[in-house]
C-alpha cells in the first residue's frame, strides 16, 4: 500500500494535487490541511466579479464537498500545520503529530504590507483570501472613493471592477507605468489609457505616505507630494511574500521561495513544494530560479508532483502563462520575457486587439496579448516547441502563425 500524502495548503496547487494523484490512480491516503475555514475556492474572481457582487459565494468552491468524499481525500479546515520534522517524517497540526510518506508544501503567499498598515484604521485592506474579499465587497457597497495602492494585476482588476460599480477610484503607482514588472511598455500604455477612459484616476510615480482617519475609520490618504486625498476605503496591492516559514523551520533551503528541483522536490527527498511558495529553475527563464504566481504554475507543478509520488516522475517543463481580466479587456501572457532585447507588435492597437512578441535575438521568448486569445494560444504552442517566427512574420497580421506549428 502506498504511503500517506500530506498536503499543506488548500489553494489551487493543493486541490490540483489531490485531483492529479487520484487521476494517476494513487491508492494511498491523502490529507489536505487548509488554514482557512472554507473548503478550497477559486481565487481569480476575488479581485474582479466577486467584489462587486456579480459572482456569488456558491460559484467559488473549486470542487463540491462530495468530491473529496468520493475521492477519499481527508480535508481539514482551520488546520494550520505548525511544524515539520523531516527526520521523523511527521508534521504537527494543533499539537498532534501526523506521519507522512510524502509531504507537499503548497503554502502559497501572503500580501506584502506597508509599514503603516499595522495600526491602520478600519477600511484598509489587502486582498488575498475570501475573508479579505468579503470585507472589501461589503465595504464597496457604501464606498464613494477608493484608493488602490499598486498598479499590478490585482490592483488594476479591483480598480476596474469598483469603477464599473460607480465608485470613484484612484490608483497610486510608484513606478512610471502600470504592471511594469510584467508586461511590455506598449501594453502598460494601453491599459493606463483604458482605465483612465473608464474614469479611474491613475497616478504614476506617486505614493501614499500615511492615512487620515476619523472615528477609527479611514477618511483619506496622505500623498508623498504633501497633498491629501479623501478616501473611505484603501486597498493595498503591492505584491506578495512566499510562505516559506514552515520549510525554513524544517531546515529546508529557501531563497525567495522554497527551493525545488525539476520534479518540484525540495532538498528533503520526501518533501515537495508547488505553486506561489516554490522557487524553481525555469527553462523559459534562461534556467534562473523563479517563483511564478499563477494558476498555470500551481496546476502544472501539482501534476509534476503527483507523477513523482505515483512513481512515474517527469520534469516540470510547462510553458508559463498568465491572465488578467481588467474591465472588459482580457490580457494574456505566454512565456517569460526576462531576457528579451526587442519586441514586435502585431494586430490592431487602436481597435484594442493586439499582441507584443518579445524576442532575444531571433528567439521568441514571450507574447503579451490584449483581447487576442488566438495569438496567446498560438504563442503557448510556439514557445513550447521552441519555434520562433521571423519578426516580419510576427508583425504581419496576415501571416498565419499557426501554420508554423
Partner 1 sequence: MPKITFVEADGTEIVVEARSGISLMENAIANNVDGIEAECGGSCMCATCHCYLADDQAGLSVMQDDEDEMLGFVASERKPGSRLSCQITVTDDMDGMQVHLPAEQN
Residue 132: CB minimum distance to partner 1, A:
18
Among residues 373, 386, 387, 390, the one that binds partner 1 under rule CB under 8 A: 373
Among residues 144, 196, 288, 402, the one that binds partner 1 under rule CB under 8 A: 402
Binding segment for partner 1 (CB under 8 A), chosen from 38-46, 113-121, 198-206, 225-233, is 38-46
> Using CA atoms, how far apart are residues 364 and 360, in angstroms rounded to an integer?
7
Closest CA to 129 of 243, 233, 59, 47: 47
Query: Can you read off the three cell numbers belonging to residue 370?
Result: 490584449
CA distances from 348 to 177, 187, 376 (A): 21, 12, 15
Among residues 134, 263, 283, 381, the one that binds partner 1 under rule CB under 8 A: 381
Start-to-end CA span in the chain (Å): 43
Residue 51: CB minimum distance to partner 1, A:
16
For residues 63, 64, 69, 73, the Cα torsion angle rounded to the nearest 10 degrees is 30
For residues 233, 236, 237, 241, the Cα torsion angle rounded to the nearest 10 degrees is -150
DSSP code, position 152: S
Is 44 near partner 1 (CB under 8 A)? yes
Give, as ranges, the residues between 305 and 364 that touch partner 1 (CB under 8 A): 323, 325, 330, 332
Residue 213: CB minimum distance to partner 1, A:
36
Specify whether the CB–CB gap between 304 and 136 falls below 8 A: no
Residue 382: CB minimum distance to partner 1, A:
12
Q: Which is nearer to partner 1, 282 or 299 (CB)?
A: 299
Q: Which is nearer to partner 1, 192 or 325 (CB)?
A: 325
Q: Which is nearer to partner 1, 19 or 178 (CB)?
A: 19
> Using CA atoms, how far apart are residues 330 and 14, in angstroms rounded to an integer?
27
Residue 314: CB minimum distance to partner 1, A:
14
Residue with cell 497633498: 227
Q: How many residues bind partner 1 (CB under 8 A)?
A: 27
Q: How many CA atoms lie within 13 A of 356 on its CB side?
A: 23
Among residues 8, 16, 106, 108, the one that binds partner 1 under rule CB under 8 A: 16
Residue with cell 481588467: 326
Residue with cell 510576427: 394
- Classified as helix, coil or strand, 77 is coil
Is 53 near partner 1 (CB under 8 A)? no
Give, as ranges, the residues between 54 and 73 that touch partner 1 (CB under 8 A): 59, 62-64, 66-67, 70
Query: Can you read off the three cell numbers belonging to residue 36?
Result: 482557512
Contacts of 71 (CB under 8 A, 6+ apart): 18, 19, 22, 30
Is 403 near partner 1 (CB under 8 A)? no
Give, as ranges, the residues between 284 and 303 that touch partner 1 (CB under 8 A): 295-296, 299
Among residues 374, 385, 386, 387, the one that binds partner 1 under rule CB under 8 A: 374
**Residues interacting with partner 1, by CB under 8 A?**
16, 19, 23, 42, 44-45, 59, 62-64, 66-67, 70, 295-296, 299, 323, 325, 330, 332, 373-374, 377-378, 380-381, 402
Amino acid at each position: 500500500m502506498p504511503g500517506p500524502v500530506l498536503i499543506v495548503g488548500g489553494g489551487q496547487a493543493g486541490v490540483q494535487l489531490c485531483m492529479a494523484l487520484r487521476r494517476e490512480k494513487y491508492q494511498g491516503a491523502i490529507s489536505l490541511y487548509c488554514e482557512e475555514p472554507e473548503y478550497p475556492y477559486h481565487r481569480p474572481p476575488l479581485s474582479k466579479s466577486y467584489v462587486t457582487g456579480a459572482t456569488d459565494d456558491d460559484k467559488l468552491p473549486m470542487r463540491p464537498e462530495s468530491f473529496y468524499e468520493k475521492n477519499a481525500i481527508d480535508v481539514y479546515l482551520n488546520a494550520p500545520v505548525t511544524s515539520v520534522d523531516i527526520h521523523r517524517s511527521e508534521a504537527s497540526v494543533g499539537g498532534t503529530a501526523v506521519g507522512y510518506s510524502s509531504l507537499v508544501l503548497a503554502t502559497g503567499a501572503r500580501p506584502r504590507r506597508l509599514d503603516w498598515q499595522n495600526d491602520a484604521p478600519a477600511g484598509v485592506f489587502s486582498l488575498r483570501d475570501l475573508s479579505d474579499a468579503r470585507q472589501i465587497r461589503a465595504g464597496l457597497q457604501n464606498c464613494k472613493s477608493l484608493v488602490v495602492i499598486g498598479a499590478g494585476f490585482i490592483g488594476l482588476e479591483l480598480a476596474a471592477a469598483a469603477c464599473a460599480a460607480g465608485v470613484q477610484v484612484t490608483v497610486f503607482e510608484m513606478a512610471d507605468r502600470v504592471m511594469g514588472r510584467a508586461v511590455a511598455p506598449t501594453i502598460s500604455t494601453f491599459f493606463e489609457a483604458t482605465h483612465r477612459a473608464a474614469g479611474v484616476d491613475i497616478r504614476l510615480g506617486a505614493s501614499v505616505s500615511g492615512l487620515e482617519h476619523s472615528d477609527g475609520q479611514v477618511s483619506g490618504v496622505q500623498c508623498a507630494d504633501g497633498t491629501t486625498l479623501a478616501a473611505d476605503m484603501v486597498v493595498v496591492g503591492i505584491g506578495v511574500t512566499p510562505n516559506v516559514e514552515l520549510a525554513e523551520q524544517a531546515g529546508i533551503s529557501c531563497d525567495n521561495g522554497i527551493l525545488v528541483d525539476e520534479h518540484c522536490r525540495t532538498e528533503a527527498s520526501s518533501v515537495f513544494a508547488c505553486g506561489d511558495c516554490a522557487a524553481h529553475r525555469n527553462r523559459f527563464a534562461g534556467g534562473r530560479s523563479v517563483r511564478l504566481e499563477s494558476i498555470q504554475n500551481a496546476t502544472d507543478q501539482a501534476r509534476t508532483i503527483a507523477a513523482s509520488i505515483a512513481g512515474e516522475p517527469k520534469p516540470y517543463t510547462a510553458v508559463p502563462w498568465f491572465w488578467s481580466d481588467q474591465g472588459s479587456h482580457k490580457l494574456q501572457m505566454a512565456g517569460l520575457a526576462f531576457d528579451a532585447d526587442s519586441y514586435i507588435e502585431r494586430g490592431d492597437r487602436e481597435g484594442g486587439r493586439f499582441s507584443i512578441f518579445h524576442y532575444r535575438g531571433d528567439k521568441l521568448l514571450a507574447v503579451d496579448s490584449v483581447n487576442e486569445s488566438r495569438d496567446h494560444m498560438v504563442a503557448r504552442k510556439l514557445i513550447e516547441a521552441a519555434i520562433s517566427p521571423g519578426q516580419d512574420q510576427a508583425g504581419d497580421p496576415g501571416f498565419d502563425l499557426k501554420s508554423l506549428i
